[in-house]
Amino acid sequence: MMPLDVPTAILQRRSIKNFKPDPIDPALLRQLLELTVAAPSSFNIQDWRIIVVQSPEQKAALGAACFNQPQILQAPVNLVFAADIKAGERDLTPILEQGLQTGAWNEGTVGYFKKAIPDFSVALGDKAREYAIKDAIIAATHAMLAAESLGLSTCMMNGWSEDKVKAVIGAENDPDIAIALVLPIGYAAEPRKNPGRMPFEFNVSLDRIDRPYQR
Ligand SMILES: Cc1cc2nc3c(=O)[nH]c(=O)nc-3n(C[C@H](O)[C@H](O)[C@H](O)COP(=O)(O)O)c2cc1C
């Protein structure tokens, strides 16, 4: 199958609540993960931590942590998008060296980033969690659209207990790991209708929030 183009994937995608038991070919899953980590992140720190949950035991535990929503058990693969809140304060050498090697960054940029990234991370204070989750959600959005493009379906999920999901992935004792999103992926077992979107005037503005955008 030819991958769908981005506009088609965006418009065709629906949040699927029932999946077939059909497995995802490992090569296809790998391609999906490659497209997922191609997402941008603040300073390119790639602070998402993506856990591929597919064993029956882990799916059962994850399903229980997600208020027993059936998608988790039905989907052959679930991606847990976690975020490392302190990623910017860790050893960034591999990321900086890669940027040098690809030629994207020069020595000056790398020298600046060595100090600027940890400084920025510390200065974020209470906002560090929000920033890490932002990056993880951007990666999850890449996964959602890449999956659609590759013939798979997904359902972004907020319905879970963070402590329980952390325990399932083995991060229960790590205060620096936050859960951003759970994404079941598989083949749709149902048609789903588009619940629709409000007209632009409702939530798109021009220049200022009090000036509704006119189509
Ligand atoms: C961040 C986020 C969290 C969501 N959480 C759940 C969830 O826990 N369970 C569920 O069945 N659907 C969940 N959804 C799916 C929404 O209900 C769905 O996106 C919305 O109704 C629009 O439908 P569509 O995705 O088909 O356009 C979530 C969607 C988003 C973006």
Please write the tens of the pLDDT for every residue from 105-114: 999 999 999 9
- Inside any domain, residue 95: no
Q: Tell me how far the alpha carbon of residue 157 lies from the centroid of ligand 1, in angstroms.
A: 6
11, 80, 133, 155: residue to mutate for ligand 1 pocket, most atoms within 8 A of CB: 155
Minimum CA distance residue for ligand 1 atom 13: 157
- Inside any domain, residue 123: no
- Inside any domain, residue 51: yes
Confidence check: pLDDT of 200 > 90: yes
- Rounded CA gap, 83 and 38, in Å? 16
- Rounded CA gap, 6 and 27, in Å? 21
CATH number at residue 135: 3.40.109.10
- Rounded CA gap, 215 and 213, in Å? 6
Q: What is the mean pLDDT of the chain?
A: 97
- Rounded CA gap, 61 and 169, in Å? 10
- Inside any domain, residue 59: yes
Which of helix, strand or coil describes residue 163? Answer: helix
For 37, 68, 128, the CA distances from 13, given in Å and listed in that order, are 20, 23, 31
**pLDDT digit string, tens, across residues 37-50:** 999 999 999 999 99
Confidence of residue 62 (pLDDT cuts 50, 70, 90): very high
Q: Which residues have any ligand 1 atom within 6 Å of their CB?
A: 14-15, 17, 69, 155-159, 192, 194-195
The mean pLDDT of 17-27, rounded to a whole number, is 98
Range of the domain at 60: 6-88+128-192
> In this predicted structure, what is the pLDDT of residue 104?
98
Which of helix, strand or coil describes residue 186? Answer: strand
Minimum CA distance residue for ligand 1 atom 26: 14
Q: Tell me how far the alpha carbon of residue 178 lies from the centroid of ligand 1, in angstroms.
A: 20
> In this predicted structure, what is the pLDDT of residue 211?
96
Number of domains in the chain: 1
- What the block records as the tokens of 58 is 């882990």
- Rounded CA gap, 201 and 81, in Å? 33
- Inside any domain, residue 214: no
- Inside any domain, residue 205: no
> In this predicted structure, what is the pLDDT of residue 214?
87
Confidence check: pLDDT of 215 > 80: no
- Inside any domain, residue 103: no
The phi and psi torsions of 57 (rounded to 5 degrees) equal: -65, -45
Q: Tell me how far the alpha carbon of residue 185 lies from the centroid of ligand 1, in angstroms.
A: 13
The mean pLDDT of 18-31, rounded to a whole number, is 98
> At how many degrees (to 10) do helices 56-65 and 162-169 cross?
160
For the whole model, what pTM was predicted?
0.97
- Inside any domain, residue 82: yes
**pLDDT digit string, tens, across residues 130-171:** 999 999 999 999 999 999 999 999 999 999 999 999 999 999
- Rounded CA gap, 19 and 17, in Å? 7
Minimum CA distance residue for ligand 1 atom 18: 15
